[in-house]
Structure 1
């Protein structure tokens, strides 16, 4: 797809968004009563869930399929609106002490778990102490300085920190701080608890069935706490998450109306423009702001040939990121210079070491590092493992394989399912290079630093430090940013952090990703905040009956 087509596609999306804003304004002014639509209840939404999750609660695994699914079953303490501002959820209100070391939540009364048991402060305390601090891939560092949690009554939680933790407020939704039911988890092997795959939450939809390899079914929670003008949410009766591994089949299902909702750029990127032009579909780019995604090449620095920073620099110089973005990602990205994406303007730094496309420099660095070409022209033979989330990641690995071949590095591309990939990369660390994307979120401490913090190496926790990078300076900067009560100081620390990691280069930022969702044109209100992709579909509704295929077939 050429640049003009990309601009056309993005412009069409903006037109769709502007049209919605215009209709809302006309209705509010009373200029066209016929344009106003009331939410209607009922209907089954069929959504694409790809790849199939390994587990159904993001309190224990923050992979994107799990996050997209489980936000419909579980609530967080807060939600985020379209301006990153906090909205009440399980917590109706909260206060931060003047020294930023005490955070108090006043919980919503009358909330029940899906099994009928009451939700209380005991659930929050237990989850924080046993899950967020010990298991959750991102929250270990965010809640690392929690010294105690008080529950003076069933509806109050008081969290005490040894140092200020300003990043906490950026990660309290159902994805960042998912609360688990204490009565079903206490005293069990948390990681192997059966309720991980038959979840019991407080959210708008209730888990009903998981047919492995086929679909997962949720049904409306009739006792959900959220009401709008006296009408209980959610509006939909049911959500069926279909597992459709083939990208072409996903596009066909959307086009035929068999599926009405598909996130995370679900179709071949070359098909996006064609689908966006169909009258029964629309392309949505909102709802991804909170996750700040970036694609990177992780380098296992414990491998002898990658211990030398010159070899890692050579890898970076060998890859043409502009061509990579155009050829592999069809322009749905932006070449990255740092793990902190440019849309996080407050934290992002351009003042970092950069590694422009320069194959000759790559070859010179490899020579200097002692990796000379052999008689067959090969310097090194390695493997590359890619995130098994679709063809885009496979094609990314193939592109990198060709790029490295030109400088004398032979790469074998390995394919595997998600459990094998996460075990190989984050558990056994039996890999050379890995193509993966992380969500950076609204604060680098929430999503970026986990890829560099040495304390998470070798703990078999997916989506953390797989490179094996150990830097006393980087760790110190991370921990200082965690403890600082000054946002100005934190910004300065994160800019120094970017300088450090881009100098050491344990991983190579490739692209800032621009995800999109394809959905039915008659599906309304799917986006209510910057974190929508990891938020529930409790506000979604159909303005006419959708065509729904039988998910069991």
Structure 2
């Protein structure tokens, strides 16, 4: 932490993982300091928080979707400027997203339906989709991928080596000041911001790999916020009794899931996948649950997406005898001793460690050897995302407020589909849901999607987790306090209480 910390005007955020770079449109390091820096330096067209189904303006001050759900027109804020003073234009937007699509960069994970982006004027553009997608706006406002980059600093360069990945120039409420690798990243409020100016002077991201110590720093007042996924139910006791900070909690936006490496022959047999599902004993996960907020879970979407939730779609029930029978029938165990299965999870999501350990015990109980491997974000991106070097994974992610968000994970060719799942029945459900703007009809297609996942055992739901936010009582402007008009990772509305 910097020596010249200014109480009351500095906002100190505890982050467990150091920054690699700050261009998350190019590639993604979930939960790293770079992830949170990018979210506060850059702007996007629209934003939303999982606490609200509505999208809110960012660079776009007005938008509309055509009745056929194939075109969206955006009008940009004419006052938006880059931190170097250059105007933000429709050319920046089109360049960023079309380049990401052309090269398969991280942003392409959610832009896969874009056929073209037409610049209609300096501050007006139209997205043309290759097929109807009534849920496209939810994709466009989802988390970090959709940042807009400055065309005048990136065009004609190799994004892999562009120096502005490390010295970012954005158009958001904070500008980049300093990065001391492994120690801190410092941002400061930008006086030229075209939106409401932040009422804090600086954001200091303090890199604290000791997760218990990160909680303690916020609880005892040395810091002001703990990024999501660090505070889990087993760690809540460290925040109890704090006189300077409070825990705000809510039902999480997604479900922890067990995925198969569908490139492997063994998992192409439904019997093998069903055997694994039958081996899972969710009672082992009860000690990880916070009653009323999280729970072992066998459904395929959170109940909170009530307009699309299928009550009748559940994973196969715990039945170890059936698991043993199916493993033998599929030739998994009858062929003799197997090498240990590699079950990977991302260490950033600390709650997944306990889930992975419990699932490994369940699989050992039916005769499968399992090695549990916790990976940091860059290693996960390389070994799991790029190389498919795993047998099974535990992962999580947003599934609300629109199930369209799940397509990047579970649709054939999805940009985040690390399991390489390809199920034509599921793909047909996605296509049907996109093709109508009637939410009731979309909901029925998504309910059928969940039934397909359950019937084909494409993946296995395990745990509906809670989201915990440990935050200082000395600041105001959290998403729940401003009507969820900003996402949980955006600190532009934070202000000192006094």
Tell me the equivalent position of 2:494: 540
- Shift in Å at residue 211 of structure 1? 1.8
The equivalences for 1:80-119 within 5 A come to 80=48, 83-119=52-88
- The answer to whether the Cα contact below 8 Å between 1:385 and 1:433 also exists between their aligned partners in 2 is yes
Please, which of 370, 384, 406 is the counterpart of residue 425 of structure 1?
A: 384
Give, in whole Å, the separation in 2 of the partners of 1:90 and 1:417: 32
Tell me the equivalent position of 1:60: 26
Tell me the equivalent position of 1:328: 288
Does the alignment pair 1:342 with 2:311? no
Q: Secondary structure at the match of 2:396?
A: strand
Does the alignment pair 1:388 with 2:342? no
TM-score, structure 2 length as denominator?
0.89
- Shift in Å at residue 494 of structure 1? 1.9
Tell me the equivalent position of 1:131: 100
Tell me the equivalent position of 1:256: 220
- The answer to whether the Cα contact below 8 Å between 1:316 and 1:357 also exists between their aligned partners in 2 is yes
Tell me the equivalent position of 2:369: 410
- Shift in Å at residue 298 of structure 1? 1.6
Give, in whole Å, the separation in 2 of the partners of 1:162 and 1:411: 43
Give, in whole Å, the separation in 1 of the partners of 2:497 and 2:97: 40
Please, which of 509, 516, 519 is the counterpart of residue 468 of structure 2?
A: 516
- The answer to whether the Cα contact below 8 Å between 2:229 and 2:349 also exists between their aligned partners in 1 is no
Give, in whole Å, the separation in 1 of the partners of 2:487 and 2:18: 16
Superposed CA offset, 1:273-322 (max 9, x none):
45244221101126x87xx2221112112223323222211212222224
Does the alignment pair 1:498 with 2:498? no
Give, in whole Å, the separation in 2 of the partners of 1:251 and 1:360: 43
Cα separation, partners in 2 of 1:186 and 1:42, compared to 1, 3 Å: farther
Superposed CA offset, 1:362-421 (max 9, x none):
22222222334799xx66621111112154322222222212111111111223332112
Tell me the equivalent position of 1:367: 328
Q: Secondary structure at the match of 1:414?
A: strand
- Shift in Å at residue 172 of structure 1? 3.5
Superposed CA offset, 1:92-118 (max 9, x none):
212233333332211111211112211
Tell me the equivalent position of 2:159: 190
- The answer to whether the Cα contact below 8 Å between 2:215 and 2:238 also exists between their aligned partners in 1 is no
Tell me the equivalent position of 2:410: 452
Superposed CA offset, 1:492-530 (max 9, x none):
222222222222223221112211110112121222354
Cα separation, partners in 2 of 1:344 and 1:497, compared to 1, 3 Å: same
- Shift in Å at residue 137 of structure 1? 4.8
Give, in whole Å, the separation in 2 of the partners of 1:475 and 1:271: 39
Q: Secondary structure at the match of 2:397?
A: strand
- Shift in Å at residue 121 of structure 1? 0.8
Superposed CA offset, 1:448-483 (max 9, x none):
122222224xxxx5xx11222222222233233334
Please, which of 38, 55, 74 is the counterpart of residue 42 of structure 2?
A: 74
Give, in whole Å, the separation in 2 of the partners of 1:153 and 1:473: 41
Please, which of 178, 181, 204 is the counterpart of residue 209 of structure 1?
A: 178
Give, in whole Å, the separation in 2 of the partners of 1:334 and 1:138: 32
- Shift in Å at residue 330 of structure 1? 4.7
- Shift in Å at residue 432 of structure 1? 0.7
Superposed CA offset, 1:22-69 (max 9, x none):
xxxxxxxxxxxxxxxxxxx96111102233344423323452445443
Give, in whole Å, the separation in 1 of the partners of 2:333 and 2:99: 50
Cα separation, partners in 2 of 1:414 and 1:101, compared to 1, 3 Å: closer
Superposed CA offset, 1:65-101 (max 9, x none):
4544322111222234764333332112122333333
Superposed CA offset, 1:239-286 (max 9, x none):
111121122211221233111101324235334145244221101126
Root mean square deviation of aligned Cα: 2.7
Tell me the equivalent position of 1:300: 261
- Shift in Å at residue 164 of structure 1? 2.9
Tell me the equivalent position of 2:3: none
Give, in whole Å, the separation in 2 of the partners of 1:138 and 1:166: 19
Superposed CA offset, 1:148-169 (max 9, x none):
3322321111223343321122
Cα separation, partners in 2 of 1:258 and 1:110, compared to 1, 3 Å: same
- Shift in Å at residue 188 of structure 1? 2.0
TM-score, structure 1 length as denominator?
0.80
Give, in whole Å, the separation in 2 of the partners of 1:59 and 1:516: 26
- Shift in Å at residue 427 of structure 1? 0.6
Question: Which structure has the greater CA radius of gyration?
Answer: 1
Please, which of 129, 132, 136 is the counterpart of residue 164 of structure 1?
A: 132
Q: Secondary structure at the match of 1:513?
A: strand
Give, in whole Å, the separation in 2 of the partners of 1:168 and 1:268: 32
Q: Secondary structure at the match of 2:340?
A: strand
- The answer to whether the Cα contact below 8 Å between 1:386 and 1:436 also exists between their aligned partners in 2 is yes
Cα separation, partners in 2 of 1:534 and 1:59, compared to 1, 3 Å: farther
Give, in whole Å, the separation in 1 of the partners of 2:229 and 2:41: 23
- The answer to whether the Cα contact below 8 Å between 1:270 and 1:330 also exists between their aligned partners in 2 is no
- Shift in Å at residue 138 of structure 1? 6.7
Give, in whole Å, the separation in 1 of the partners of 2:207 and 2:17: 7
Cα separation, partners in 2 of 1:402 and 1:380, compared to 1, 3 Å: same
Give, in whole Å, the separation in 2 of the partners of 1:316 and 1:115: 54
